Structure 1
Amino acid sequence: MNHNGLMEDPRNFSEVCIDAMSALVSHGHSFDNARLLAYYPAIRQNPFQKMLYASAFENGFAVTPLPSLDAVDALSDRMQITLHYHWIHDVFKRLGKAREAKKAAKGFIEQVHRQREAGHKILWTIHNVLSHSATFIDEEVFLRQEMAKLSDMIHIMNPETPKLVKGHYELSSDKIIHIPHPSYTNVYGDYISRAQARLELGLNEDNVAFLCFGSLVPYKGTRFFIQVLDRLQERFEGRARLIIAGSKGKADFMEELYRIISGRSDIILYADHVDDQALQVFFRATDVVACPYPVSLNSGVAMTAATFGKPMIVPEMLLPSFNTLPIGATSFTPNDLESCVHAANEAANIALGKADADGGVPDITAWAAARDSLTVSKDFFRALRAFRGEGTGDIAPNGFQADFAGAGA
């Protein structure tokens, strides 16, 4: 396996591409209609990529991870594909000095430039303004500025993304496709009842439960929301509970978190990886999901909350992603305690007044179901085909057929 936990492929990238085209043709797509998309980096722990690409074959696309940035260089001139970049700050992994980060960013941009010059289409999905725990700010801003220039298409999920990133980099409106973050409907296990989930977590029926979910790192705002909890106890006469669940972060942060919650019976901490079947316990047991982040352009946790029909608390900049949700998303001003307490009260009122027997709010659940991965994926691939206004588009290589035949397929 590679460093992302993916199986190593004995084939070279050219062979993978030829096999992908073979699979498309076998499924009834003509060479003129078949498309190939390679994505980077491939992230196993987050199901987002699998969700976004769920309807690929149905829409005439074969999707494969790009094993390395330079793998594209080995393709023949006739093989022109779409290269889909996601978390581009991955280029800074394991780097300790700014000069190393500067060199890595420059090298990445040079490679993408060569790929574009070779005729490949560049697609970039913007997940965050900057990476959550950005260490090399100047270098990452440079990376994103250049990527915005080089990209043929820019996929955004938050409709306000161009405005929200403007302080760091500019996005050309004629490159943008807006396809929302899919919900997790039919992705995570969801068969445990609210009563069973509460029993497993030690919650009473009259507890008003708030959930902070995700990796235990400073930028998630967990410490801030513990302060909010203190204020909520006044409102709920001591019945408020906070569930904190997610993989352990760095030792110094964990030590601080353990110290803060030591001796508190109103906070439940589960510091471990939560698998796809266990996740339902936390979301079914809770009343409100808190996303107390100081900065967040998109949020898988918020979309998971919607999937389970849970009202959520989100920072103001995240609210546009939920602008069509009729009820359930309440926003706060980041780092403003009063604002977050007010949002938490409002979300709790929705949960306590409108939840069904299993703890979900039907309006929220229906909204999420309409944005399931297959629906969003179909919209995504249709948008790629329509982007250049050419029906089947010009994403696929005309010369692929020759390479395919030449490989003896």
Structure 2
Amino acid sequence: MLISMPGRDQSTEGWIAETFAALARVPVEGPEPVVWPFTPYYTGNPFQSVLYSRFAGRGLVAAPTFRITDLLATTRNWPGDVPLVVHLHWLNQVLAKCTDDRSADEAVGRHADLLDTLKDRGARLVWTVHNVLPHDTRFEAQEVRLREQVVERTDLVHVMSPATVAAVGDWFALPPEKVYQCDHPGYQGVYPDWIGRTDARRRLRIPDGAVALLLTGAVKPYKGIADLLEAVDRVSRVRPGEIVLIVAGKPDDAPETREFLTAAAAHPAVRLMPVPVPDVDIQVLMRAADLVALPYRRSLNSGVLALALSFGRPVLMPSNSGSLPVVDGGAALIYPADGVEALTEAVFSCLDVDLGALDRAAAAAGRRIDRAVVAERFAADMRSWADTGVVPQAPVVTVLSAQDDVVAGVAAGVPPGASR
């Protein structure tokens, strides 16, 4: 029998079949089902799978959609008695193939028309703000106008950082009455986690006593890769053998990235793996590292930060990051966003800081964004909004202490924040 895994069939027909099959499985005695297509769907990123992991229990049918244009076909003659919510995520696809301002203008116009068509068919719209603008923006004016049009048409804007409204304010405005805040979920239990610190560091040839910084995820210039390498080089010259930089992830083809890779490959303090990291090896990186480096030039939300905290790893990050509220309580070494000099001082401080205290704070921060807790709250809030139209308000204080036992049992092996 030839079958396809749910969410893997990228055809419009597959989307329709999977969605209505899911509708047929919704219990009759449960709440009225709401179809919730989300787009674009990225199979290599577990964020969406985690975010929607509690939807089924609320009668919300999360429907992965690879291309927003597929919705034009799938929602044609949409049954009026089936509520429909379209959830937009990253907007980078809209202008991805544009070659000049004219084609970018036309793409923005087509996207606005598409959203208007969906609304005319009865869909309500939600947008999650992942970043201020795409990291590799080529058409800034059009990217801004695109977001203005999306905000104008959406019924609810999901932000993951309380700093989002201020962070995007120089480019576009978010109406307060549309804004809903819910944290970026963690990744506890998503990846294997059985290796210990000693074995992990042995695999990466990291000397005992050296402080290891980890730079992982996509290797791109906006992540401050050149400054970080310069800072590590300066520190290693003064205190040789005491600092190691692990670089693991797929690089882009930017000239700055190529220069970085050449220098990193030749540097004795660097452990370079310029390839996508298999899921099973993420634990090796996280357990070997003392801190995860996030020296990004511009950052609003960070999946790498959520991953680090899920493993109980503290982070090194600049003071202009939109994710500062996530690490409140001492889970980060924060340095002034003043260039390589400030970053160098921060790397020096890594050698003398109380790593145990950082670990404990990072473990606590990870519990605050535990994936089960965040996903449950998101599902409950979205169900309430779908039923009432009232945008849920973020709680003044999030209390997660009751979940401590659950979190501690999520992953096998070395628990987050384990003693050294």
TM range (shorter): 0.7 to 0.9
Counterpart residue type for residue 23 of structure 2 = M
The answer to whether structure 1 residue 377 and structure 2 residue 379 are counterparts is no
Q: Deviations over 1:223-244 (max 9, x none)?
A: 1101111233366444111111
Say yes or no: does 1:316 pair with 2:319: yes
2:290 aligned residue = 287
Q: Tell me how far apart the structure 2 counterparts of residues 197 and 84 of structure 1 sit (CA, whole Å).
A: 39
The answer on 1:198 being equivalent to 2:208 is no
Is 1:51 aligned to residue 50 of structure 2? yes
Q: Which amino acid aligns with 2:379?
A: F
Q: Does residue 161 of structure 2 align to residue 158 of structure 1?
A: yes
Separation in 2 of the partners of 1:75 and 1:334? 52
For residues 140-170 of structure 1, what are the alpha-carbon distances to aligned partners after superposition, in whole Å with 9 as ceiling and x for unaligned? 1110011111110000011010111011100
**CA deviations over 1:256-300 (Å, ceiling 9, x no partner):** 123323532111110111011111111111111111110000001
Asked whether the 8 Å contact 1:77–1:118 carries over to 2, the reply is no
Percentage identity across aligned positions?
27
**Counterpart secondary structure, 1:148:** helix
CA–CA distance in structure 2, aligned partners of residues 348 and 335 of structure 1: 20
Q: Structure 1 residues 341 and 287 mapped into 2: Cα distance closer, same or farther (>3 Å)?
A: same
| Structure 2 residue aligned with 1:330 | 333
Paired residue total: 383
Note if contact 1:288-1:348 (Cα within 8 Å) is conserved in structure 2: no
Structure 1 residues 104 and 220: alpha-carbon distance in aligned structure 2, compared to 1, 3 A threshold: same
The one-letter code matched in structure 2 to 1:19 is A
Question: 1:332: how far off?
Answer: 2.9
1:240 paired residue number: 243
Deviates more, 1:243-252 or 1:232-241: 232-241
Distance 1:57 1:349, change over 3 A: farther
Higher relative contact order (CA 8 A, sep 6+): 1
Contact 1:86 1:124 in 2 (8 A): yes
Alpha-carbon offset, residue 344 of structure 1 = 3.4
2:411 paired residue number: none
Deviation at 1:254, TM superposition (A): 4.6
Question: Match for 1:387: what amino acid?
Answer: W
TM-score by length of 2: 0.84
Q: How does 1:365-404 map to 2 (within 5 A)?
A: 365-387=363-385, 390=388
Closer/same/farther in 2, CA of residues 147 and 269 from structure 1, 3 Å limit: same
For 2:92, which of 89, 97, 100 is the aligned residue?
Answer: 89
* CA drift at 1:20: 2.5
- Structure 1 unpaired stretches of 5+: 356-360, 394-409
Letter in 1 for 2:285: F
- Structure 1 letter corresponding to 2:232: L
- Judge conservation of contact 2:331–2:365 (CA < 8 Å) in 1: no
Q: Cα deviations across residues 326-350 of structure 1 (Å, max 9, x unaligned)?
A: 2222323335223223433445544
Do the aligned partners of residues 335 and 259 (structure 1) sit closer, same or farther apart at CA in structure 2, a change above 3 Å counting? farther
CA contact (8 A) 2:243 2:351 kept: no
The structure 1 residue matched to 2:308, chosen from 305, 308, 322, is 305
Flag as ranges the 4+ runs of structure 1 deviating above 6 A.
Answer: none
Secondary structure of 2:86's match? strand
Query: CA 1:12 to 1:272, structure 2 compared with 1: closer, same or farther past 3 Å?
Result: closer
Matched to 1:121, the amino acid is R
Q: Which amino acid aligns with 1:60?
A: G
Residue 92 of structure 1 aligns to a residue in which SS? coil
Give the match's secondary structure for 2:27. helix
Q: Partners of 2:355 and 2:237 in 1: how far apart?
A: 17
- Paired AA for residue 197 in structure 2: R
TM-score by length of 1: 0.86
CA RMSD in angstroms, aligned pairs only: 2.6
Distance apart, 1:84 and its partner CA: 0.3
Q: Which residue of 1 aligns with 2:35?
A: 36
Distance 1:13 1:381, change over 3 A: same
Q: Conserved in 2, the CA contact under 8 Å of 1:306 and 1:365?
A: yes
Distance of aligned partners of 1:129 and 1:254 in 2 relative to their CA distance in 1, 3 Å threshold = closer
**Can you list the C-alpha shifts for 1:286-325, whole angstroms capped at 9, x where unaligned?**
1111111100000011111111222211232335543563
